[in-house]
Structure 1
C-alpha cells in the first residue's frame, strides 16, 4: 500500500479521537454556526486536491504503460531462448507483445533490456524518498500551497521533456524521472499541512478522505487512458498530455487556493470564523524541539516502518511492473493491458475506505482496543494478499485467473490502510505529521528496489521468473504481518506525551 491511503483514513481515526479526548473542542463546535458544506471553500479545496492527486499519480504511473510501447521487444527476445511468448501463446485474435504495438513511423523505439527497464521504472523513487521529511517540515513552516502546487507543476513540466530525454539515452531518462520524484515527494506532506489550517476537527475525515482518494482514482484512470493514447497517438503523446494536464491544474491551484482561511479572498466571513474558531490551537505545530533519539530507539515506530516497507514492496511491484507482466506473459494488447492493470486500484480505493469505516465503528462501540484493531487490519491486509500473489504464481498462462488473483490481492491489500498505515497517530499524536514523513521515506525504498528486482528475476520474461517475483512479494508481505503482530501497538509512547502530561493511553 502506498502511504496516501493512510493519510485519507488517518483523518477518520483522528476525528474520532478528537471527539473522545477533547470535549471542550466538541462543545465549542456545537455552539458555532456551521456554514453549508456544499460549494464551500473548504469543500472546493478538497475537490481540487482530489484532481491534483489524480494528476500526481497519472504522472507517476504513465511510464509503466508507455514502456510497453517505447521498447523494441524484438531485440531482447532475440537474445532469449526461453521467452514467455513460447510458454504462453497468445489467444486467437489477440495482438500481443510489445513489438506488435502499432506506433506511427516517426515514433522511436529503444532496445532496453529488462534490467534497464527496471532501473528506469524505479528511478522516480530515487528522488521521491529524499523530500518527504523536509517537505513536511517546510510546508508546516511556510504553508502547503507553494509546495503542493510547486511539486505538481515541477513534475508536470519535467514530464513534458520525457520524449527528449529518452531520445538522448536511458541515463538522461533515469535522471529526469528521479527529478520528477524529487518534486512529487513534497505533495503528500504539503497536503497534511494544508488541512491542518483548513479542516475543522469534526470534518477532517470527509475532507481528507475526499482529497486523498484522488491518488487511486488517478491510477485507475491513468492506466487505460495511457494505453489508449499510446495506441492512438504514439507514446510521446502520453507525456505531453499528462504534463499539460499537470500544468493546467497548477495554474488553477495557484489562482484559487490560499494557505489558510484568513488569506482567502473569496471565503465568506461565516465560513472563515467557523474554520478558525473550530480548529483553534490544534492547527499549530509541535515547535522546534523534536525527540529524535527516542524516536530512533522506539520499537513500535520501527515496527510501523518495516511493516509499511514490506507492504509497499508488493504495491510498488504491481504499480510499476504489472503492465510488463500483462504484455510479456499474458500477451494482452496495450489497450487490454492498461485497462486490466487499472482494475486493482479501484478495488484498493473501495476497500481502504470501507476498512476505515469498519475500524472506526469497532473503536466507537468499544468492541476492540486500538492495538487489536490495528493488528487485525494489518494482518488481513498483508497475509491474504500474499496468498493471492502465490495463487498468481501458479496460475500459469491463464489470463483470467491471473487477473482475478491480482485484482483480489490489491483490493484486499487496501484493508491495511486502517491498520499500520494510520498507526502513527496512535503512538505519537503530536508528531504524526513528522512520523508520516519518516515512515513514507522508508516506505519509498521498495519503490526503488522492487522494479530492479523484477528486472533481474524476470529478465527472460519466463513463467518461472515471474513466479519468483510474486512469491518473493508474498514472502515479504507475510514477514511484515508477522513482525507487526509481535511488535506493533496502539499505545501512545512516552516520548510523545505532552509536557503537562495531558496525553493518555486509549483503547486498552
Structure 2
C-alpha cells in the first residue's frame, strides 16, 4: 500500500524556489515598445502597405483623366494627344501644360470596370500561396520581391496603356499577383516577431498604412494628373515603391535572432513570449477540418464583406473610417484560432476576400449600364446587404480560442 511522503522544510523551500524560477521563465519581462525593433518592423510594413495600396488606388483616380469624354480626337483602344478644353468645347489658353501631352482613351464603362477588377484576378490566385510560401522561405524574400514587382509594373502602366487595352489588363493582372503577395505574405513575420498580446497592436500599425495610402493617392493623385499629367502619377508612386523596396531589404529580417540592431533584452522578451506558442512544422494542415470550421468561414466572409466600400459624403467618410476597425479584429483573428497554420490561413482568407475587387467593379458596371440614373443606388444597397450579412455571420460563428484541429497532437506509443 502506497503512502504519501512528507517533504522536509528544506526540500519544500528548494521546491518553491524552483517553482519561482519556472514562473520567471514563463512570464517574460516586458521591454519598452518605443524605439524597439518589433515596432520598427511594423513601421516599415506600414510604409510597404502604404505604397502597395496607393499603387492599387491610383488607377481609380487617373481614369478620369485617361478617359476624357470631351476630347473629340479620342478613339477606342487608341490614344490622342488631348488638348485641354473648357466646358464649352473651346481650347484653353495653356497649351504648354504638361498634362496636355498625356494620351486620352475612349473606354466604355464596361471596359473600365474590367480594368479596375483586373487587379483582383491575381489576388485570388496568390493570396493564400503567398502566406504559405512566406512561412516556408521567409517573409523578407516574398514581400520584398513582390513589392519590387508591383512597383516596376506601376512604372509600366502608361506604356502598357499605349500598347492597347489587352496589354493594360494583363499588366494589371500581374500587378495584382504582386500586390496580393505583399498583403498576404506579410502576416507570417508576426509568428516570430509578435508577442501574442501585442499582435493586434503591431498588425494595426502595419495595416494602417493601407488607409493612409488610399487617402494620399486620392488626395494628391488628381493634383498630379492636372499639373503634370496622369502618367506621372504612376511614375511617382512607382518610384516611391522602389525606394520602399530598398528600405525593406535593408531593415527587415525574418526573426529577431538574426536581427543585428535588436537589444538583448528585447530579443529575450520576444523569444520567451513565443515559447508558449505551440508550433510544429511536421504536422500537416488539416484541410477537411479547416473547410468545416465555421470560425474560418466567418473570417473569410467578414474580410469579403469589408472589401466590398452612402450617398452622402459624410456617411461615406464615416463608413470608411469605421471599417478600419476590422483590421485589428477580423484580419488577424486567424492568429487566435490557429497560430500554427496562420500564414496559410491568413493568405487564404484574404485571397477569398480578393474576389470582391473582381466582382464589385463588374457588377457595378452592369448595374450602371442598366440604369444610368439610379444604378449607384442599387450598388450601395447591394453592398449594404453584403456587409450586414458578413457581420451577422461573424458575430454568430466567430471565435478567439485555438480550435481543436489546430492544437498540437501528441503521438503516444503503446
Report the TM-score range of the alignment, normalised by the length of the smaller protein.
0.7 to 0.9
Contact 2:28 2:269 in 1 (8 A): no
Greater helix fraction, Structure 1 or Structure 2 = 1
In the other structure, the counterpart of 1:244 is: 239
In the other structure, the counterpart of 1:58 is: 54
Contact 1:75 1:111 in 2 (8 A): no
Q: Deviations over 1:429-460 (max 9, x none)?
A: 43333221221111110110101111121138
Distance 2:48 2:119 in 1: 18
In the other structure, the counterpart of 1:69 is: 65
Query: How many pairs were matched up?
Result: 377
Tell me how far 1:51 sits from its aligned partner: 1.1
**Residue 209 (structure 1) aligned with residue 204 (structure 2):** yes
Distance 1:470 1:96 in 2: 33
In the other structure, the counterpart of 1:107 is: 102
Alignment of 1:60-209 (within 5 A): 60-74=56-70, 104-209=99-204
Alignment of 1:365-404 (within 5 A): 389=310, 392=311, 402-404=312-314
Q: 1:250 to 1:24 in 2, by over 3 A?
A: farther
What TM-score do the two structures reach when normalised by structure 1?
0.67
Give secondary structure in 1 for the equivalent of 2:103. coil
Contact 2:300 2:352 in 1 (8 A): yes
In the other structure, the counterpart of 1:49 is: 45
Tell me how far 1:189 sits from its aligned partner: 3.3
**Residue 406 (structure 1) aligned with residue 316 (structure 2):** yes
Tell me how far 1:255 sits from its aligned partner: 1.7
- Tell which deviates more after alignment, 209-218 or 485-494: 485-494
Q: 1:165 to 1:449 in 2, by over 3 A?
A: same
User: What value does the CA root-mean-square deviation take over the aligned residues?
Assistant: 3.3
Q: 1:282 to 1:478 in 2, by over 3 A?
A: closer
Larger radius of gyration: 2
Tell me how far 1:484 sits from its aligned partner: 3.9
Give secondary structure in 2 for the equivalent of 1:175. helix
**Residue 28 (structure 1) aligned with residue 37 (structure 2):** no
Give secondary structure in 2 for the equivalent of 1:185. helix
Distance 1:431 1:288 in 2: 10
Contact 2:280 2:408 in 1 (8 A): no
Q: Deviations over 1:169-192 (max 9, x none)?
A: 111111101111101222233322
Give secondary structure in 2 for the equivalent of 1:160. helix
Alignment of 1:434-449 (within 5 A): 434-449=344-359
Which of 200, 219, 237 is the aligned partner of 1:224?
219
In the other structure, the counterpart of 2:34 is: 38
Tell me how far 1:67 sits from its aligned partner: 0.7
